[in-house]
Structure 1
Amino acid sequence: MMKYFIILSMSICLIINCESSNRKIKLASFSSNQTNTSVTASSTIRISPQEQSSIAITYFSNETGDPALEWLKRGLSDMFVTELSQSPYLNIVSMTSLAELAEQANLSEKDIFKPAIAIDLAKRAKTDLLLSGKFYQVKDSMYIEVKLTDTHSQHYVRKEVVSGLGMEQLFAMVDNLSEKVRSNIRGDLKVVQSDPINLIEMTTSVEAFRCYSSALENREKFFHGKSEEWIEKAVKADTNFAAGYLLMAEIKFNLGKRDDAQKAVTAARRKIDKLSQAQKYKLELLELRFDYSREKHITKLKQAIEEFPSNVDFHLELGRIYREIGEFEEALEQFEIVKEFRPNQKTIYNDLAYIYALLQDYKTGLAYINTYKKMAPDEPNPFDSAGEILMFAGRLEEAIPQLKTALSIDPTFYHSAEKLGRIYTELGDYDNAFKYLKIAEQYAEIEKMAQVIKWRYVHAYWKSGQIENALQIIDEIEEDISHKIKLASTDIAHHRAFIYHSIGEKEKANLAYQKCFDAFAARFDSITHYYDIDRLAGILLLSDLNPQKVISFLTKLQNTIKDDKSQTLLNLTMGLMALRNEEAELAKKYLTKDQKLQIQLIAEDRNEKWNNVWKYIFIALTDKNSPIDAKAYSDEMIRLAEENNREDLLLIGKIISALHYQNDNNIEQAEEIFSELGIPKETKWQVSGPYFDKNSFSYDHTFQPELTGNNKQNWHFINDGIQDGYLDFNQNFSKSDWATAYAQTYVYVPEEHSVEIRIGSDESFKLWLNDNLVLSRYLESDIPFDDATVKVVLRPGYNKLMIKVINRIHEWGFLCRITDEHGNG
């Protein structure tokens, strides 16, 4: 029973608490490159890039002779992008894209100011028009001249000049010119559009926009620290600058400063009338990031795309979310749309490469990276990405020279140094591991990344057996963040506990959790958000804390939490704690309360931790002392799956249904469901292990089962306590950290048969069919159900299936399905 409570509870905390990726930002930066499409009064019209009026906006020429106005060369471009991107019939290509094209053509930024080159670049960007211009002064007046050039004929379409008295009238002049541009290129498209918001309505401070423009420029160059400095100056110059607060929220969020990002979002919300419609969508999308609801996020993005179907930012964000939840085909579709609109945007080839890598098509992924390299040969990022994709493929030795090339291009590129530290830790070369981690630590400018590097030190010390050093680094992390966070860090508690467990110090492990719980209790009033409840649940349910004290604390907390989502998670947690304390009636009260809400909570936010989550939920739903109705759960899960076209939920619902029949001793019905799903019986699997080698790469190391094959002395059957198809190695091996285990079974077919083998594992694995390697994945996190798939041909008779699963820390196991192409057994 104790296994059930401790293990299951972690599932609840992992349901939503999917940590954001610590990988560097792979997507194109969130700039003002918004391209829109025509909208009628009654419906949205999807207009392809070929049907839209597309316009490239380049830098302006400073002919004032005043160095203090140099910022307007880019600043005016940003202003016109901000203005014109609100027009649904215009596809805007900003100067950033033109600068990338110039770089690819070995041209300097100065060359873009040459008319012939600018026109050629705009034509290569597949735009119809080029907006260029200059600004100059005559006595006390400022003049802005704008030219529209047809990129195909290279003839001027229109020239407009406006003037005003000094910088005070700058925004009014840009507003005037923008309207003239819009009216000139509206063409024959008869549309009804909402009134665009003018620059002067966004901000009255030229200084604020100057800083805003500099923040955009630095973010596009991945200078996150400088970008943060500039945007803070922008909102200081104009405290009513809603667009400034919106950009600040994005920057702070990407830097891992969630509290600061939340404050910026709140400030932008107060001034929402100063935002354009597209910016309002961005604000709502940022707010949803704090709500931890990917389903709501996806729905809002689809709504934004319906209104702004050619907005590159929205497609990129939707693609990124699909990638995070494992919907790779949907992510690929979004990135292909971006490529259609921005074929010369080099970072989109990076995004496409990662999707193909996650689809296990490393050849295509690396081909896209080679395209990226050709477009940006002097940048470290494409080489860093090549290294990471090779890491995905388990080809660590090949990744090393790619990452070293990135560092040779830019010795301060800490992303590559961090990856090299990680690789050398895996290879058991700890001198080099610490060497590169030190480089990464020296140059990491993002606070969140600096913490990631600290945790890499912890893992390196831990794996190499230097436990005291690992614990000392954890102490340093705790001291560093103690004054920056409202509540205790659950990461610190988990790592301390995992390390102590790995050396057999169970009491110290529980003390780590007790310390974290006490810190939460001391800051009771600060527990206000679902995220806080989620982290707290993970601590309570993984530990052996006094159930009565915990239940008393949660009861008190329940009286202060108002939103349904947090209340539902609290009910689940309290019910599990009551079961642990053998309080059946109390458990029934909370575990049967609003069960539909519980199921919606579980299903609402898809994340990468399906194996951990569902394994534990299976245990909970089938425990004979649990008051949860497994049949009702499975029926509701299947209904939700069919309603939302969710194959993952359908699989889970059917497994829960099978477990329900098992509990009722209807073994025949349960086995029929498992057979329909293509899940081999756990009793048919033999295992061998665990195996350890801290001084080599376990993924590639050839342990005995790969050499001795069917040596009966090395193989034995196991029972992990629940027959659900998932082999839980943790329940059979006393030591699981930095370990490797093997499992094998035999599959009989009367004649040759084509099938798909689908694997979900925690963590990396290799799969052999009849002693031939057919599938492998190397990841530092668990692999969702069915995420790794290979098509194979089974020969007549018995076919040997062997899998090797490598674990770093904590959960360890796999689920295998053998199906047809539609997922049926």
Structure 2
Amino acid sequence: MKKGRILFIAGLLSLLLNCNFQDEQRIRLAKRPVEAIMRDRVKTIQLKADEKKKVAIFDLRNDTHQSDLEWLRQGLAEMLALSLAQSRQLNLIASRNVINAVASLDLPSAYELNSLQLQSVAQTLGADVLIAGRYFFQQDSLRIELKVHDGLSGEIASSHHGSSPDLNIRNIFKMVDPITHQIREHVEDRSKSSTPKEYHLADVSTSSLDAYKYYTSGIRFEDSFYLTDALNAFEKAISIDSTFASAYYRLARLHLMLKDESAAQPLIQKAMRFSERTSERERLPIQAMDAMMRGEKYNAVQYYNRYIELYPEDDNGHYQLGIYYFSVVFNFGKAIEFLETTVSLNPDHKLAYNTLAYAYAYIGELDHAYNALEKYISLAANEPNPYDSFGEILQRNGRINEAIDKYRLALKKNPLFYPSKIHLANAYLDLGKMNKARHILLPMLQNDSDVYLKINALTMLALTEIYAENIEKAKLYIHQAMSLQDQPYYLLSVLLALEPESEDYKRQFLEIIQNEKNNINRPDFHSEIVFDLVSAALINQVGVAEVRDLLNAIIKFNKDPVLYNVALAYSLVLGDSDEELGKLGRRFAESSLPGVFEYSTPPSWNYYWRFYFSSLKPTNNNHAALRFLTDGLNDFAQHSGNPYFDVQGLLASAAAEFYTGDPQIAKDMITRQGFPCEG
């Protein structure tokens, strides 16, 4: 096998592993006035937030003398927050900020603080209302006592109490609900417009104490980036209560973070099914993820925007939109805007700094990236992930040995943190040290309890063998990884690249396409997979006619404007005749939304443009059709707001000039933008 083809296949596998974005690294985006954008946005948000009272809820004091009920310190505080969050007049301060404020002031239990100490906490948090409390047993009943303090004076404004006859979670919720209603009566302005429908905790959460216990522990694990532990906790929660909508949502979100959409799909469907009984604040993120999973990215963003409109002061809403733009559509500039807003609203949001660092690194702003990582480390010095992230960004920028030091430091913090093992092996691959990479990866195959760990290890081992030109061994590892996945079309595409004449691989790929054609009218159909399949079909020149049927179905039946436009764009590549190209081009121009590529995924578009250029050649004899096609797409690209697409649009127009006999014009267009003209 030729060296060039080996490198091409290795590139495909690296893209699958999400550990090599060389194309993105080499395009340095123009600097955007992010700071100015953030100042204006945060100022607007703060104006809206000032209309709401800021409420800080402390973890409660455990006076039961039972260590197995220690988790209720945070659990009861979260129940109170969940109930109070239904109010549109209250701004709940994140629990981690409250904990950090108490710790930074070196204060004892919040229940024991005097008015001066409470004033200090309120000033640090900017809180108008402080809620502290304790829980204890009295005559076999669980009792809760709460004190609501005025933030300005620190004095007690009101006291509230309740009791539950036992530890049944439904009775605990019934105890918390009336207390929160009393608090709202005290702190809200009832003369303002009525609030939306209110939900009781017993109806919107879970009926199981154990399920809620695992759910709260899952949140803590996720916050520290112990994703496997978080997965296990949320899975235990839904195994105990199969109607726990928020647990399904959290679990689906984790699977997406681990790039396992097939596992996330049924989970978000269940979250949707049981979300009818949840509050709007819980339901909107579930609806956004459901739309995203079905490929309806335009609708997903509308749900997120609705959430931010209702709760502009909630840093988590901005964070989720930042994550969406970063990890789903790879619009790094847009991601930075929302993530910078997140940390402006909440300077202690450590995971926002993590993603912000990657986003800055991908647009070449390394100083900003390193600053974000240093801030992340200051907030999570004893966790492995900030050092692992630092290592990844150093490695992407060629500082391999420094990256290795960071990965080792992460593993020193937690020897079982598997992302750092994968990244360390990849760093050794970059140095050409195949045996060191294998030494790390092979023991990971013995872990049968973590399927993600095993798939990543097998894929990395396959990449190792491809670099070493041991193709048969690489295929063996890929087959093993495929056996652990429900939709292994990415890996199958790699096998087709390794063995393009294999009738067996072609048959398997065509079966996947046929399966998607059979599912296209189902409500849970994920349209985005169609574009991945089109890209794979174009790369391997297998099933091109079959994927065209999938595109036609999206064009005919799908109402999402983003999907419609992307399907038309791909159909332009697959068009056979000038007449068909003209018809598709007109539909594309008539229906285009200026912001459509804000929602589309660049990896698919990278493949699109690769074959777009080759599709110009058959139209070479019809200059009018060629001009119509390229000029329309280039105009659209310039209005897309996506710098990568804009660059490719310029190159498309230059290619059109070249193919229609004006190579000097093509050269001038390219050199004017600073591109070399080789080839």
- 1:242 alignment partner AA: A
Q: Give 1:642-657 correspondences, 5 Å limit.
A: 645-646=641-642, 648-657=644-653
**Kept in 2: contact 1:384–1:416 (CA 8 A):** yes
Deviation at 1:174, TM superposition (A): 1.2
Equivalent residue for 1:287? 290
One-letter amino acid matched to 1:656: A
Distance 1:353 1:472 in 2: 36
Q: Do 1:292 and 1:605's aligned partners in 2 also have CA atoms closer than 8 Å?
A: no
Task: State how far apart, in whole Å, the 1-side matches of 2:418 and 2:590 are.
Answer: 43
Secondary structure at the aligned position of 1:86 is classed as: coil
Report if the CA contact (8 A) 1:56-1:130 is conserved.
yes
Out of 510, 513, 516, which is 2:509 matched to?
516
- Farther-moved stretch of structure 1 (110-119 vs 460-469): 110-119
Matched, 1:322 2:325: yes
Q: How does 1:368-387 map to 2 (within 5 A)?
A: 368-387=372-391
Give the deviation of 1:233 after TM superposition. 4.3
The AA in structure 1 aligned to 2:537 is L
Change (3 A) 1:374 1:268: closer
Q: Secondary structure at the match of 2:149?
A: strand
Paired AA for residue 92 in structure 1 = L
Q: How does 1:779-790 map to 2 (within 5 A)?
A: none
Change over 3 Å in CA distance of 1:292–1:401 after alignment to 2: same
Structure 1 residues 563 and 60, CA gap change in structure 2 (3 angstroms): same
Alignment partner of 1:351: what SS? helix
Say if 1:349 and 1:372, in contact at 8 Å, map to a contact too. yes
Q: Deviations over 1:143-186 (max 9, x none)?
A: 22111234564433322122354445322221111122223233
Give the counterpart of 1:525 among 503, 507, 518. Answer: 518
Which residue in 2 is equivalent to 1:727? none
* Cα distance in 2 between the residues matched to 1:607 and 1:532: 11
Q: State which of 274, 282, 291 in structure 1 corresponds to 2:277.
A: 274
* Distance in 2 (alpha carbons) for counterparts of 1:53 and 1:21: 43
The answer to whether the 8 A contact 1:634-1:657 is kept is yes
- Distance in 2 between the 1:454 and 1:644 partners? 38
Q: Which amino acid aligns with 1:474?
A: I
- Does the 8 Å CA contact 2:56/2:92 hold for their aligned counterparts? yes
Q: CA deviation at 1:303?
A: 3.0
Match of 1:802 in 2: none
Amino acid at match of 2:490: D
* Whole-Å separation in 1 of the counterparts to 2:648 and 2:370: 34
Which residue of structure 1 lines up, in the alignment, with residue 352 of structure 2? 348
Deviations 1:414-442 (A, max 9, x none): 11111110011110122221223346556
Partner of residue 423 from structure 1, selected from 412, 424, 427: 427
Provide the rounded CA distance (Å) in 2 between the counterparts of 1:50 and 1:638: 44
SS in structure 2 of the partner of residue 331 of structure 1: helix
User: For 1:588-638, what per-residue CA distance to the aligned partner results, in whole angstroms no more than 9, with x for missing partners?
Assistant: 699669444897799464334355432321332453369893333344435
Alignment of 1:242-641 (within 5 A): 242-324=245-327, 325-438=329-442, 447-481=451-485, 485=486, 487=487, 489-500=488-499, 507-508=501-502, 512-518=505-511, 520-521=513-514, 525=518, 529-545=526-542, 551=545, 563-564=557-558, 579=576, 594-596=587-589, 603=597, 605-609=599-603, 611-624=606-619, 629-638=625-634, 640-641=636-637
> Counterpart in 1 of 2:39?
none
Structure with more of its chain in strand, by fraction: 1
Higher helix residue share:
2
With 118-127 and 212-221 compared, the bigger mean Cα shift is at: 118-127
- When residues 186 and 228 of structure 1 are mapped into structure 2, their CA distance, relative to the original with a 3 A threshold, is same
Distance (whole Å) between structure 2 residues aligned to residue 459 and residue 20 of structure 1? 10
Question: 2:483 is paired with a residue of what secondary structure?
Answer: helix
Contact 1:285 1:297 in 2 (8 A): yes
Name the SS of the counterpart of 1:137 in structure 2: strand
SS in 2 for 1:305: helix
Change (3 A) 1:608 1:114: farther
| Corresponding residue for residue 56 of structure 2 | 56
* In 2, Cα distance between equivalents of 1:320 and 1:677: 31
- In the TM superposition, 1:795-806 aligns within 5 A as none
Q: 1:755 matched to which residue of 2?
A: none
SS state of the match for residue 541, structure 1?
A: helix
- 2:215 corresponds, among 207, 212, 215, to 212
Residue pairs, 1:638-787, within 5 angstroms: 638=634, 640-641=636-637, 645-646=641-642, 648-666=644-662, 670=666, 673-674=669-670, 677-680=673-676, 682=677, 685=678, 719=679
Q: Cα deviations across residues 365-398 of structure 1 (Å, max 9, x unaligned)?
A: 3233233323332222222222122113211111
The residue type equivalent to 1:135 in the other structure is Y
Q: Which letter does structure 1 place at the counterpart of 2:509?
A: C
The letter of the residue matching 1:194 is P
- Is the 8 Å Cα contact of residues 86 and 278 (structure 1) preserved in structure 2? yes
Q: What are the Cα deviations for residues 12-57 of structure 1, in whole angstroms up to 9, with x where unaligned? A: xx9xxx969579xxxxxxxxxxxxxxxxxxxx98636566422222
More RCO (CA 8 Å, sep 6+): 1
> Is the Cα contact below 8 Å between 2:407 and 2:424 reproduced in 1?
yes
For each residue in 1:684-713, what CA deviation from the matched residue of structure 2 results, as whole angstroms up to 9, or x when unmatched? x3xxxxxxxxxxxxxxxxxxxxxxxxxxxx
Structure 1: which 5+ runs fail to align?
1-9, 24-43, 501-505, 686-718, 720-825
Give me the whole-angstrom Cα distance separating, in 2, the residues matched to 1:326 and 1:374. 27
Letter in 1 for 2:388: D
State the distance in 2 between where 1:339 and 1:524 align: 44
User: How far is 1:76 from its partner?
Assistant: 0.9
Tell me the distance in 1 between the aligned counterparts of 2:571 and 2:404: 48
What corresponds to 1:159 in structure 2?
Answer: 159
Moved more, 377-386 or 46-55: 46-55
> Bigger radius of gyration, 1 or 2?
1
Letter of the structure 2 residue corresponding to residue 516 of structure 1: F
Deviation for aligned residue 1:408: 1.2
What is the rounded CA distance, in whole Å, between the counterparts of 1:375 and 1:577 in structure 2?
50
Distance 1:292 1:432, change over 3 A: same
Identical positions, percent: 22
8 Å Cα contact 2:84/2:180 also seen in 1: yes
Evaluate the alpha carbon distance shift between residue 332 and residue 405 of structure 1 in structure 2; reply closer, same or farther with a 3 A threshold: same
Residue in 2 aligned with 1:735?
none
Structure 2 residue matching 1:158: 3-state secondary structure: strand
Is the alpha carbon distance of 1:125 and 1:400 closer, same or farther for their aligned partners in structure 2, counting shifts above 3 Å? Answer: farther
The alignment's TM-score, normalised by the length of structure 2, stands at 0.79
1:121 CA displacement: 5.9
Provide the TM-score with structure 1 as the length reference: 0.66
Distance 1:259 1:326 in 2: 20
Instruction: Report deviation, 1:199.
Output: 0.9
Distance 1:235 1:424, change over 3 A: closer
Give the conservation status (yes or no) of the 8 Å contact 2:84–2:90.
yes
Shift of 1:671: 5.3
TM-superposed deviation, 1:331: 2.6
Q: Could you tell me how far apart the structure 1 residues matched to 2:176 and 2:17 are?
A: 40
Q: CA deviation at 1:404?
A: 0.8
- In the alignment, what sits opposite 1:77? 77
Give CA-to-partner distance per residue, 1:516-573, whole Å, 9 cap, x none. Answer: 335655886356543443343334333355x8xx647966997899634889888887
- Between the aligned partners of 1:164 and 1:519, the Cα distance in structure 2 is 54
The whole-number CA distance in structure 1 between the counterparts of 2:554 and 2:636 is 31
Partner Cα distance (2:442, 2:59) in 1: 40
**Residues 115-154 of structure 1 correspond to what in structure 2 (within 5 A)?**
115=113, 124-139=124-139, 141-150=141-150, 153-154=153-154
SS in 2 for 1:55: strand
Cα distance in 2 between the residues matched to 1:591 and 1:263: 35
Q: Secondary structure at the match of 2:59?
A: strand
Q: CA deviation at 1:131?
A: 1.7
**Cα separation, partners in 2 of 1:257 and 1:658, compared to 1, 3 Å:** closer
Q: Counterpart of 2:290 in structure 1: which amino acid?
A: E
Deviation at 1:310, TM superposition (A): 1.5
